Structure formats: C-alpha cells, structure tokens
Structure 1
Amino acid sequence: MTADWIKTLPQAAQDFLEGRRLDEVECIISDLPGIARGKAVPASKFARQTYFHLPDSIFYQTITGDWGEAAGDEGFIERDMILKPDMSTATAAPWTGDWTLQVIHDAYDRKNNPIPYSPRNVLKRVVDLYHEKGWKPVVAPEMEFFLVARNLDPAKAIKPMMGRSGRPAAARQAYSMTAVDEFGPVIDDIYDFAEAQGFEIDGITQEGGAGQLEINLRHGNPVKLADEVFYFKRLIREAALRHDCYATFMAKPIAEEPGSAMHIHHSVLDVETGKNIFSGPQGGETDAFFHFIAGMQTHLPSAIAVIAPYVNSYRRYVRDHAAPINLEWGRDNRTTGIRVPLSGPESRRVENRLAGMDCNPYLGIAASLACGYLGLLEEERPDKQFKGDAYEGEEDIPREMGAALDIFDASEKLHEVLGPEFARVYSIVKRTEYEEFLQVISPWEREHLLLNV
C-alpha cells in the first residue's frame, strides 16, 4: 500500500481517525454462520501487506466448532487461502480501547480464483449473474433482534432484559415509543457506533416481542448491504454488552414470543436506463414483476435451508405468530410469505418475509436473489394473489432442518446459481451440525419421557 493509504479510506473511517494514531487493523472475513474470522495486526504491518492467509477449513466449521467432512478429494489438509482487503469496507471498531479499523477481505485460491464457498463470494456470484443479463439488483434488509438479560446457563430459559424503568421489557408493545425508551442507553450506543462506522439507519422500532427491536437499512447494493448487516450484528452485540445485557439474533430465543426475521426487500433496475423493471412506462406492474414472485414461490422451498440455517430457525414458523407459514403472495399483507409493500412505481419491490435473522446475511440475500433470478429466467406466472389471512392456508415450507436440507440438495437449479461447490460444502457442514443437535437430549424429553414411557 502507499504511504498515505489512510487518505484513500472511506470518509467515515478518515473522520474516525482524524487527529488520532491508528493502532490496529482487524482483517476479517465471514464464515458460513456469519462469524467474523481473521487476524488483528498492527497498523504499521497492515500498511505493508497486500494479503494474508487463513486455512480454508474455516468454511468447514459448524456453529459448535466441530468440522464437516467437506475438504474434498485431497483430504483435510487445511490449505491456505489468500485473503485480500476490500478497502471500501474499512470502518471503525469504536468499542475498542484503542483506535482500531475493521476491513472485510475476499478469499481467493493460489490461482486467484474466488473461493466458491466463501459467503461474500457467493453473493458476488449471484449479483454478477444479474449484471450479465443487464439487471442491477437492489435490496433493503430489515434486522430484528432481542435485547435479553445475561444468560450464563444454557439450561435456563432466556429472559427479557431489565429496562430503564427497572422492570423487565414488556411484550406486545409493537411500535411503542415508551418501549423503545426503555432501551435508550443501548440504542444511543447503537446510533453512536453506527455513525462512527458510517452506516445510515433508516429507523429503529419496537417489535412485538419483549425486548425485541427492528432496525431498517436504506436500500442499495446487495454486497454493501450484506457487509453492513455483518458489521451491525457485531456492533449491536458490543452496544448491549456495555449495558449488562445480550443482543441475540436467534430466530426464536424466547418460546412465548415472536421470532426475529431478516425481511429482505428486492427490486431490480435496468442497467442501461436505471428504471425499475417491475414497473412499466405507465407505472403498471410488468411481466418481470410477476416472474420474480413466481421464482420466489417455486424456489424458496429449496432455499429454506440457507435462510433458516439452524434447528431453532424452524421454531419461528408458527401459525398466527408473526412469521409466515407458506409461500402465498399479497399486496400489503403481512401474513403472506411474499409481500408487495405499498409503494410508487419507481420503488415497487417484493419482500421476502421468510428469512430469519440468524442466517448469514451474505447467504440469505444471495439465496433470496437467486430465487427471483430463476423466476426472471423461467418467465412463469405466480399463483393468484392471496387476499385475507394467509395463516388460514396450508403450510408449504419445510418444518425442520433435515427436510429443508433434503429439498436443498435436490435443487440443481439453485445450486447452479449459488455455485455447485458452495452447495456441496454447505450441505455437508449443515448436516454435520444437524447430527450434532440430534445427539443432545432436551429438557422436554427428560421431563415427559423419563418416567412416563
């Protein structure tokens, strides 16, 4: 890098460092679950390096730290990858004790080919497929999460955090400003951290669960937005820890409360004209709009294993409990899995309400865009628009991880979009994880089966 490389950083990072001496750079990359992996290096060393190495085995690791047998024919030799920084992602780590930057890296092999099962590369692959067709995908994610009391014993149920009033956070207070005020100190730190990192929050609202909040982000480039969600998860966790509570992105952390989703809004622009291909010259809905919805209805079942990646994810899909149970589509209808929000022609979009907040943001957005992309290619029509309460309809999504993986494994079309090698590795790692879960005896089994069967 050049001697004045700091002057080339994004403006927010330059502002953060103004009048200060940079101490450290965290070189990070997302693994399959979305955990930041990497190395922290002194700023002086980072200025001299153009890449660093990590073993490819970080992508074979389960959420428990075990390993899937996904290394391929050569065996588990932990070959080094070449990780190159994307300096456009350089941003502050404002919670640290010294002056630290984070930089997201991309993974390549020795021949400079992108590692196909690196989540950021998977999303880039899908975006490139859109670009090859003359389309520019645009997304806007919504992030739901819970602020909960510290929990040091996994055997104990998760409880809502203690609010500013000294009372536990209350449920069923959706959109209440008083409820938001209960978490005021945590939210203040979230805003401060986001500002230091150069992120624009579109709004924070109280959701229906006890201690459940939602942050909306402005629409934009899918890779950039996935980077922000990746960063935000860490940011929010750090803000919560400052106030003696945890932030959790589990899909269903509290049994009696609604789950946490990462709703994804999609639109597609024509690269040449910049116009939304979902709207015609007179502002009406186009064939492409309906094809995109049809792709969602046809291919989302195959993608559920990616957008609902853990056994806990399927506890969120409960009838009449704020999460969809089928693939119906409707206009301004929050009971459907695929919703068309109120909007003008320029901002006409399709919302996927099935993705959980526990999914890797790169993979969740990639899988969702892949379904719409296949719909645009196949040019099918969706089912008739659903009117009324979609919870009264039949369930048509898998209800547990094993079934979801079976459907994922059978979908060659989805594999071709996301990448066959990614699909192979992902399935092996997730099946290993599922088998780990099946070895655990739950409190329910001990309570009801120990002396009764």
Structure 2
Amino acid sequence: MNDWTVNLPDPAALYLQGKRLDEVECVIADLPGIARGKAVPASKFARQKYFHLPDSIFFQTITGDWGEAADDADGGFIERDMILKPDMSTATAAPWTGDWTLQVIHDAFDRKDRPVPYAPRNVLKRVVQLYRNQGWEPVVAPEMEFFLTARNLDPAKPIEPMMGRSGRPAAARQAYSMTAVDEFGPVIDDIYDFAEAQGFEIDGITQEGGAGQLEINLRHGDPVKLADEVFYFKRLIREAALRHDCFATFMAKPIENEPGSAMHIHHSIMDMETGRNLFSGPQGGETDAFFHFIGGLQTYMPAAIAVIAPYVNSYRRYVKEHAAPINLEWGRDNRTTGIRIPLSGPESRRVENRLAGMDCNPYLGIAASLACGYLGLMEERRPSKQFKSDAYEGDADIPQVLGQALLLFDEAKALHDVLGPEFCRVYAIVKRAEYEEFLQVISPWEREHLLLNV
C-alpha cells in the first residue's frame, strides 16, 4: 500500500481490503452540482498533491453554454487554472465501476492559495464559518426526493414512471406504501449496497406521493459533510437506476400532474461551548434564537429562492395542493407551510425548510438556507404569527418564475455579504444566461394552443 492509503476513512479502507486500487476519481461540484474532474491511475494520485481545472467550469450553464462571468479586472475570460486539493476525509468507494476505484472531493484555490469564492463547497464553508465565529455549530439533516422513471431518449416525449417488478408502471398516490417500495426492490437493494460500500448511513427510504417517487432521509450532522453525501448520493442513485434499465431524476417537477421532488432541510444550532441546542432554553422552552432563525428564513428566503430553485422547471413545483409550499408561513407539525417545526423534544428541536428543490446544488441549497437563518439571528428578526391551518389557503409570497427570483436575488445585498459577493455575481450572470437560453425555446404548449388560435 502507498502511504496515502493508510489514513483513509474506515469504509474506504474496508472496501479496498485485500484489493489493488486501480483508479482515483478527483471530483469537484460545479454550480449545478455536477461532478467535474479527472480520473487518474492510483499510482499517479499517490504522487500528486493537487491537480488543475480551469475556473470556467463555474461559468457554464446547464446546457453547456457560457455566462459572461469572468472578472475583467483579473484578465477576463482566459480560463485561468485553479489548484484543486484533495480532502481525504471525503475518500469513498465508487462501487459501480468495473475496477477498484475511489472518489475524492477536492477544494478549489487560486494561485495565492485563496479559496475560489464561487466554488459551491467553498460557499458553504464560508457560511458555516460565520456561524462558528459566533460560537455556534450549525447542524442539518437533508431529505432527498427523486423519481425512478422509464428510460427517456426523446426530450419531446413526456417522462413516464418506471416499470415495477410486477410488470406494471409505478402507481401514484401510494405515499408510504411498502408494496410500492417493493416494486423497486432491485434498485433499492443496489442503493443500499452502494451506500454501505461508501460508508453512508441511510435513515430510511419511503414511497412518496408521486408515481415512482422515493425519499431517502439522512442522519443529521455537519453541513459540509451532509452536502458531500447528497452530492455523492445523486451519482450513486443514478448508477443504481441505470443497472435496472431505468433513470433516476432529481428534476423538481419531472411528470405533469404529479408532486415535485424537494430537498427538505432540517436545521438546528448547537452552542459550541455548552453543546446545548440554541433553539431550546434551560427549561425546554423555545428561545429567542429559535424565533429569530424562523424570522430570517421568512425575511430572506424570497431572495434566496433563485439558489434553492435554480431552474425554470423548479417553479412548476410550487403548486397548491401538490405537497410543495407556496408561501413562507410557519407552523408546528404543519406540512402545508414553507417552514415547518417537526414534533420533537427540546434537545432535538429543529426548523425544517421545505422550499428547496431536489434539483438544487446541495452545497448551495444548504448554504442559502443557513445564510437566511444566520441573518435572522444576527438581526434578531421576529417571525410572523404561527400559521395553524391550511397554508394553501393563504396568498403565495414567493417568486413564481426564475426571472422574478433573479431580480430579488440581485437586490439582496445582505444575503450577498453572507454567501460572498463574488459568488453572487457569478451565479446571477450564469443563471440569467441560462434563463435567456430557455426563453428562446418554443414549447409544445405554445405550438398547440397559439399556432392557429391567436
């Protein structure tokens, strides 16, 4: 064994026990959360302390086009190389490959060894550090919803649910059905096997309300570690699905008339000195910090929607009565509100943000949600009165389209200061370029209803 393999995380070491490591995938998440990087022979990885990728990977739209986001003061669009350094605590198996392969997440630095400000993992680290500067340790627990669908090779064709074990398409309206989960048994078995090989602890898998829609809950923990896991899980789940002739999609709204897929984020904050949950007082009651965090979400989440709902499709999820919030009301054990307080004891009191879509970059979605809560804590924001009935009966108070969300994002200077002004500048440019690309596409709906009728 090479020296660098001696201190691998336990699951990675166990995966390689008695095996010869062939390859290492050096990866980093771009703005959409796609894994970019290089695959290198294990012998080469042992000799390299870092590798290079151009900073332009953060200027690309989801279609592969470019946003004009390069900084003219720094030479403009010259595709300057970043220095990517491995975080060996993230080393994990790639168990679907044909040989013995590890994946390692890297962090991006410039030539002066400064974190690249628009690298998503660096954005989240920045926000977490702001909490720690106050003596607070943020804790999150993400929930991942996704659809298993039939293979779709024609973008003009609607997406359909996958065929289950029974030979029938996956049925909708079967939330929490064990029989429905059993329909996807072979895919779920591979998800569990891959997760175990990678050392990830799944808190549970349930059938959601959509046809072929599943939810995976992860154990609570450090925000960066959990974002790493979601980043890895997206790839893991896609690979498991492909083994069984179906697709896994994390689109916010892949199928018409079905619920969308969310990445609900549970938040709590620990006092670093005492280990106490900041949301609970000595007698177990709700603290000012608890209410200020909620107030921050209500105040700043409209501007952060552009980050947690990053595509035009994201806004199709915010539909009344379709298991997605339409406003920022908050309530205790109320799944119709955008901000929900789950049932819990004082030690595990937490705030659930139900607005983020599963299509968001996990680093950026968690960073944006934490940033809103942080501003609420620092500014001592008070929330509105608790909403005790059906929040779908209330008014919608979040952006309905990406263009509107980007306008709010542009104006949110306080949010920019937390996430990082340079990240916000680049993100807005890339997303606006993406939106303008979409506006040039004529949809089937337009051709059907406008061609001969207007």
What TM-score comes out, normalization by structure 2 length?
0.99
- Where does structure 1 lack aligned partners over 5 or more consecutive residues? none
Distance 2:381 2:452 in 1: 54
1:77 and 1:162 map into 2 onto residues whose CA distance is 48
Supply the distance in 1 between the matched residues of 2:448 and 2:154 (Cα, whole angstroms).
Answer: 18
Shift of 1:7: 1.4
Residues 203-218 of structure 1: matches in 2 within 5 Å?
203-218=204-219
SS in 1 for 2:6: helix
Map of 2:20 onto structure 1: 21
Q: Is 1:131 equivalent to 2:126 in the alignment?
A: no
Report the CA distance between 1:4 and its aligned residue.
1.9
Deviation at 1:239, TM superposition (A): 0.0
How far apart, CA to CA, are the structure 2 residues paired with 1:327 and 1:256?
23
Aligned to 2:32: 33
Q: CA deviation at 1:372?
A: 0.3
Give the distance between the partners of 1:133 and 1:362, measured in 2 at CA: 21
Aligned length: 452
**Other structure's SS at 1:34 match:** coil
In 2, the alpha carbon distance for the partners of 1:306 and 1:5 equals 37
Report what 1:446 is aligned to: 447
Once the two structures are TM-superposed, the CA of residue 3 in structure 1 deviates from its matched residue by 3.5
RMSD of aligned alpha carbons? 0.6
User: What residue number does 1:6 align with?
Assistant: 5
State the Cα distance separating 1:381 from its structure 2 match. Answer: 1.1
Identity %: 85
3-state SS of paired residue (2:143): strand
Q: Can you list the C-alpha shifts for 1:235-294, whole angstroms capped at 9, x where unaligned?
A: 000000000000000000001100000000000000000100000000000000000000
- 2:407 paired residue number: 406
State how 1:345-424 maps to structure 2 within 5 Å. 345-424=346-425
Does residue 253 (structure 1) correspond to residue 249 (structure 2)? The answer is no
Q: Which runs of 4+ in 1 moved over 3 A?
A: none
C-alpha displacement of 1:124: 0.1
Superimposed CA distance per residue, residues 88-117 of structure 1 (whole angstroms, 9 cap, x where no aligned partner): 000000000000000000000000000000
1:304-345 CA distance string (max 9 Å, x none): 000000000000000111000000000000000000000000
> Counterpart of 2:427 in 1: which secondary structure?
helix
Q: String of CA shifts for 1:171-195, please: whole Å, max 9, x gaps.
A: 0000000000000000000000000
What is the correspondence of 1:216-365 to structure 2 with a 5 Å cutoff? 216-365=217-366
CA deviation map 1:9-58 (0-9, x unaligned): 00000000000000000000000000000000000000000000000000
Distance 1:197 1:230 in 2: 13
Match in the other structure for 2:44: 45
- Counterpart of 1:101 in structure 2 is 102
For 1:233 and 1:321, locate their aligned partners in 2 and report how far apart those are by CA, in whole Å: 23
Q: What does the per-residue CA deviation read over 1:415-443, in whole Å, with 9 as the maximum and x for residues that have no partner? A: 00000000000000000000000000000
Query: Once the two structures are superposed, what CA deviation does each residue of 1:60-91 show, in whole Å capped at 9, x if it has no partner?
Result: 00000000000011211000000000000000
Structure 2 portions without partners, runs of 5+: none
What amino acid is aligned across from residue 425 of structure 2 in structure 1? Answer: R
- C-alpha separation between the residues in 2 aligned to 1:5 and 1:45? 12
What SS class does the counterpart of residue 54 from structure 1 fall into?
strand
Report the counterpart of residue 191 of structure 1 in structure 2. 192
SS in 2 for 1:192: helix
Give the letter for the 1:308 counterpart. Answer: A
Instruction: Give me the whole-angstrom Cα distance separating, in 1, the residues matched to 2:131 and 2:378.
Output: 10
Distance 2:176 2:381 in 1: 38
What amino acid is the match of 1:320?
A: E
Counterpart of 2:112 in structure 1 is: 111
- The correspondence of residues 78-93 of structure 1 with structure 2, limited to 5 A, is 78-93=79-94
- Name the SS for the 1:290 alignment partner: helix
Which amino acid in 2 is paired with 1:199? F
- 2:172 is aligned to 171
